[in-house]
Amino acid sequence: MRQRAIMLNIGALLFAVALLAAWQLLADARLLSPIFFPAPSRAIGDLYARLVDGSAWLSIQATAARMLFGWLSASLVGIVLGAAIGCSRLTRDVIEPTLEFIRPLPASAIIPVAILFLGLSNQMSIAVICFGAVWPVLLASVYGFGSVQVRLEEVAAVLGLSRAEFLRKIALPSATPDILSGVRVSLAVSLILAVVTEMQASLPGIGRDIFLAQRNFRSPDLYGGLILLGLIGLGANHALMAVEKRALRWRNAHS
């Protein structure tokens, strides 16, 4: 099993290298416009130079901070609200119609409203990120808490557990796999919205760097920013997968 995983990782790496090599060859042959599609060596070279001189780290820190704060806020709100809806029919009947009205709204559509109330600030960006990233966690939490087996509820009643003890000792562990799946999706949404708000509000970060590079026809910087965003997303996703694997090791042990 381990050998198969290693082979899959090697295959994925070779595929990525092949794409970069094809891009480089097409750029060197001038089959791609150097203005719009610079060679990856130029993009990676400019990104490396920015990392070495330190100019990229402030943008990385700003974008990562907005992403994490927005994601943590969305996760907390989504889990708490999902538990309330999934475990209480009355709460679901009262809240669900309003949520179904709000849920189809694109997160980018509320940026003007957020700017109106919060201005061009980090709080505005975090509020927009929270709004857009809460839905995967909320829906996964509703499903996870709502699918707790009836037998587990009967066991809790026999043991005389209070409602809070039932949620903490039975419902939450049972819903954790679904919650973590929603949290992973929410993390990707948070990164996307962090970049969007930076572009829209001209906040310091990778999003603004990419926008300014596009405005000034600095294509290598633009693609370097995209590569940087991909690396951040990849690293964050793998870190969360490691946390998920550790948190659910009890399920793997019994499978």
Looking at the fold, whether 184 and 244 belong to one and the same domain comes out as yes
Looking at the fold, whether 10 and 97 belong to one and the same domain comes out as no
Looking at the fold, whether 15 and 58 belong to one and the same domain comes out as no
pLDDT at 192 over 90: yes
pLDDT at residue 128, rounded to an integer? 94
Looking at the fold, whether 134 and 198 belong to one and the same domain comes out as yes
Nearest by Cα to 190 from 140, 233, 230: 233
Residue 91: Cβ-neighbour burial (10 angstroms; 0-12, 13-18, 19+): middle
- HEC secondary structure over the chain: CHHHHHHHHHHHHHHHHHHHHHHHHHHHCCCCCCCCCCCHHHHHHHHHHHHHHCHHHHHHHHHHHHHHHHHHHHHHHHHHHHHHHHHCHHHHHHHHHHHHHHCCCCHHHHHHHHHHHHCCCHHHHHHHHHHHHHHHHHHHHHHHHHCCCHHHHHHHHHHCCCHHHHHHHHHHHHHHHHHHHHHHHHHHHHHHHHHHHHHHHCCCCHHHHHHHHHHCCCHHHHHHHHHHHHHHHHHHHHHHHHHHHHHCHHHHHHC
Which structural domain range is residue 13 located in?
A: 1-32
d(CA 191, CA 8): 26
Q: Each residue of 51-85: pLDDT tens digit?
A: 888 888 999 999 999 999 999 999 999 999 988 88
Looking at the fold, whether 40 and 27 belong to one and the same domain comes out as no
Looking at the fold, whether 25 and 59 belong to one and the same domain comes out as no
How confident is the model over 14-36, as a mean pLDDT?
Answer: 82
pLDDT at residue 252, rounded to an integer? 57
Looking at the fold, whether 8 and 46 belong to one and the same domain comes out as no
Structure tokens at 187: 């993390």
Looking at the fold, whether 201 and 214 belong to one and the same domain comes out as yes
Looking at the fold, whether 92 and 207 belong to one and the same domain comes out as yes
Looking at the fold, whether 10 and 111 belong to one and the same domain comes out as no
pLDDT at residue 1, rounded to an integer? 60
Looking at the fold, whether 136 and 225 belong to one and the same domain comes out as yes
Q: Domain of 113: which CATH number?
A: 1.10.3720.10
Q: Are 133 and 189 in contact (CB under 8 A)?
A: yes
pLDDT at 135 over 90: yes
Total domain count for the chain?
Answer: 2
Looking at the fold, whether 14 and 93 belong to one and the same domain comes out as no
**Could you tell me the pTM of the whole model?**
0.86
